[in-house]
A and B are shown apart, each in its own frame.
Chain A
């Protein structure tokens, strides 16, 4: 029993251990390997960017990842039923008017002629009158709209030509059905035989509104969206999860604690902060440390304007002026003065 306790003690980080530098080293070293090895793997279809590009994406706290993906599970009642899952997948996929209709512009008559494709609409189980209604809602009142069966004729007599083209583009991108921003929904099976939907996009908010969807098991790799929807704690976990998956697909054996530390550092302020000039490094409390990193003059001038005082509590600033860094053996100080003889 005593032995067990001791072991646990051993695992504790000692005071003054440079955990940040260790994490940076541990994540940075495989990073250099990744640049050389897998910018792109030949013959492998990349669903999501992996390796260094993805890692940079996460660390830079990009608003939208290059390939956003949303994973949707249905609740236990439906998830075993492939048909049902496929049906949901089809229904959440965003359909634009462009996909179910053909457009012809007549600039001399200032008309837009739209022909709805009946078979396409039927396939998606859409009602034609419903679509027409959507079109009606979209166009402004001074534009005239006539319709007959699958034909829609829009004429804007007073419109300049540019506005006509603008309207066409607007109509082409008209949301007809499905969830906004969700595309290319694919149904696959996981290890336990449960069916799930993988789709491009990230609009979890609307996806979760669906009755069949299991809200506890849905996920998107858009960390910023996770933050907007669920808050920092969730975002922190998303960062850990994403980084971990990058590292493990690269077969880089990085301790999860390093990743967690990075994620903690990025989310400690209650919002997601990138690593770099505009984020972590740019928010260091020490003027000297910031000036030593990038934009030296800017930081010094601003410090002068605000009358900042550098407490010399960090590593960089102490190296700069030539003092022992407050880390490891430099953390220990004598607090008692030896009496003078």
Chain B
């Protein structure tokens, strides 16, 4: 509060949560007293002030929704976080709440931060004008960002990418995952603690929810299989279980009640049921209609046998009783998925119905096309699994688990990645994890020293031998240990192809998307390319023959689309009494367009000429 007073009158208007409550004769005095009371614990610590000196206004804010952050209080150029407090904290005599209560630490909201505070970054920076001291330099970082090690060495776009990718990493997302029935979840086998950590990870308990593995990584080229952000991974490492995960998926269904006292039933459907599959489809089901845990299932196989009452009430039969014709409504595994029935749970839904949850588990080994990333925005796709004997090796026989390409480094300026590699290497040698918290003093020299003392090159380079030829690789290769994450973009969930398959009801064109077993769109620009090339037959094949080709009867008299009446076994024109028809090949979309034009009140006529052979 040592700042110069710029108001002539000392009187201020006081607002409480934005509402005018009164005036005070001396603004500086008022603010000073309020702050003192807060720090003494006389008023609630959640109260923040805002002092706009130029307009003589003091805002008192107590409402919810302000984002507040803790800082150490500084008074008369001295930090309230004294050695005495420090010792007591260490001896566990004090805890955080005590610090807040006694006014050692207080929370600032944006308003108070703007108008009433001057925060020093370190204790050394404190001058008499300072009002607060930053607890930690890395306090500016968010929960996610603070988990990235050595980030002050990286370029900002890569940090942004690293942040969004750590959120996609597969790990152990919850300690009770085995008791949960999440619709979709991945759990990693034996995730490791990162060798280079940040202090925040412990604060956030992120070291108990791990999501990756420390891999021996070499920066080199491997026969072109790791170009353009591909990575080459050692088959041996995969076989030992590195980055291995299990995918869990829960299917659930309920015995629903319908108006009229009818209800669904879990059972093996009787052959008389409408939509009955074949007997083999129900072979895994127990008598209660539920599948047995431990059974390996494939796409579209029945997990829970279920029958439902008919959709529409049927007419009373000759015997006077409504005959009950049930409908098949079993739950099946999604197409393109497979796995083992992990567990089956039978319980009750909130509305009191029988509820079944079936959890399917499938092991997802790292495979070609899976995405991995370090914590520096260095993402890559596995391009090749190489048997250990073909991987390059060092003199002592170490082979890298992963080989990334050298082109991934210079333009992206992820120096943190390089540092983590050598840092991890040093940590392996000393057996001590390295602190990689942001804005900590430079550790590069220490790392170099450690590597040197253990007989490695301080640069992190190593002489490697080609696993295939056995020859020494001419260049020395930068090798280290770095934490890699497996991201939940797995090829096995994306791989899709189709030759023939379902079509849409309205347009008769192929469906779209993997779940609907759809086709890959031959779009407008692709079409333009074929036109430009003059490949008109291919174009017709793509857009007609392999899409929505139909043959329609066209009345030769009036030009409207006609139909064949199977009852009378003759062709009929809906408009005139013509007997002259032609079979015309057209796209169904065009036929649809004709209908729509008719709906506009316009009568389109198709005038056909002689048949042309192509």
Residues of A within 8 A of B (CB): 16-18, 21-22, 24-25, 297, 300-301, 303-304, 309, 315, 319-331, 333-334, 338
Contact = CB atoms under 8 A, between A and B. Distances in A.
Contacts of B603: 304
Given A300-B602, A329-B536, A329-B537, A320 B587 contact: yes
A301 B531 contact: no
Given A25-B532, A333-B614, A322 B549 contact: yes
Given A327-B531, A328-B536, A321 B587 contact: yes
B593 A320 contact: yes
Interface string B529-566: 10111111101100110001100000000000000000
B558 to A, nearest CB: 14
A324 B534 contact: no
B536 A322 contact: no
Nearest to A338: B613
B343 to A, nearest CB: 52
B540 A323 contact: yes
A18 B532 contact: yes
B378 to A, nearest CB: 25
Given A315-B531, A328-B534, A334-B613, A322 B543 contact: yes
B590 interface: yes
Contacts of B534: 16-18, 327-330
B597 interface: yes
A315 B539 CA distance: 11
10 contacts: A18-B532, A300-B597, A320-B589, A324-B540, A328-B534, A328-B535, A330-B540, A333-B614, A334-B612, A334-B613
Interface residues of B, number: 30
A333 B612 contact: yes
B532 A22 contact: yes
Nearest to A309: B607
A320 B596 CA distance: 14
A326 B612 CA distance: 13
Ranked nearest first, the 3 interchain pairs of A and B with the lowest CB-CB distance are A328-B534, A330-B536, A322-B587
B475 interface: no
Count chain B CB atoms within 10 A of each CB in A304, A320, A321 and give the residue with the most: A321
B539 A301 contact: no
Contacts of B529: 25
B296 to A, nearest CB: 46
B543 A301 contact: no
B522 to A, nearest CB: 11
Given A320-B590, A333-B614, A325 B536 contact: yes
Contacts of B535: 328-329
A319 B528 contact: no
B137 to A, nearest CB: 34
Nearest to A19: B532
Contacts of A329: 534-537
Interface string B353-381: 00000000000000000000000000000
B143 interface: no
Interface of B: 527-529, 531-537, 539-540, 543-544, 548-549, 585-587, 589-590, 593, 597, 600, 602-603, 607, 612-614
B587 A25 contact: no
A321 B531 contact: no
Contact of B539 (A22, A25, A319, A338): A319
A311 B343 CA distance: 66
Count chain A CB atoms within 10 A of each CB in B532, B533, B535 and give the residue with the most: B532
A2 B612 CA distance: 40
B590 A322 contact: yes
Given A301-B602, A320-B590, A321-B587, 13 more contacts: A24-B528, A304-B603, A315-B531, A319-B539, A321-B586, A321-B590, A323-B540, A325-B536, A325-B539, A327-B536, A328-B534, A330-B540, A334-B613
B528 A324 contact: no
A334 B613 CA distance: 7
Contacts of A323: 540
A12 to B, nearest CB: 15
A25 B526 CA distance: 12
A333 B587 CA distance: 21
B610 to A, nearest CB: 8
B531 A322 contact: no
Contacts of A21: 528, 531-532
A61 B539 CA distance: 33
Nearest to B539: A325
Contacts of B600: 297, 300-301, 304
Nearest to A319: B543
Given A22-B532, A25-B528, A300-B600, A322 B539 contact: no
Contacts of A303: 602
Nearest to B603: A304
Contacts of A327: 531, 534, 536
Contacts of B590: 320-322
A325 B544 contact: no
B340 to A, nearest CB: 47
A267 B600 CA distance: 35
Contacts of A324: 536-537, 539-540, 614
B537 A322 contact: no
B586 A18 contact: no
A154 B603 CA distance: 70
A169 B495 CA distance: 71
A329 to B, nearest CB: 5
Nearest to A305: B602
A300 B543 CA distance: 23
A21 B603 CA distance: 33
Nearest to B584: A321
Contacts of B593: 320
Contacts of A338: 613
A330 B543 contact: no
Contacts of B548: 322
A304 B607 CA distance: 15
B549 A18 contact: no
Contacts of B539: 319, 324-325, 330
A83 to B, nearest CB: 55
Contacts of B607: 309
B485 to A, nearest CB: 31
Contacts of A326: 536
B527 A319 contact: yes
A181 to B, nearest CB: 42
A289 to B, nearest CB: 13
Contacts of B533: 18, 328
Contact of A322 (B528, B532, B544, B614): B544
Nearest to B597: A300
Nearest to A25: B532
Count chain B CB atoms within 10 A of each CB in A17, A315, A323, A338 and give the residue with the most: A323
Count chain B CB atoms within 10 A of each CB in A18, A303, A333 and give the residue with the most: A18
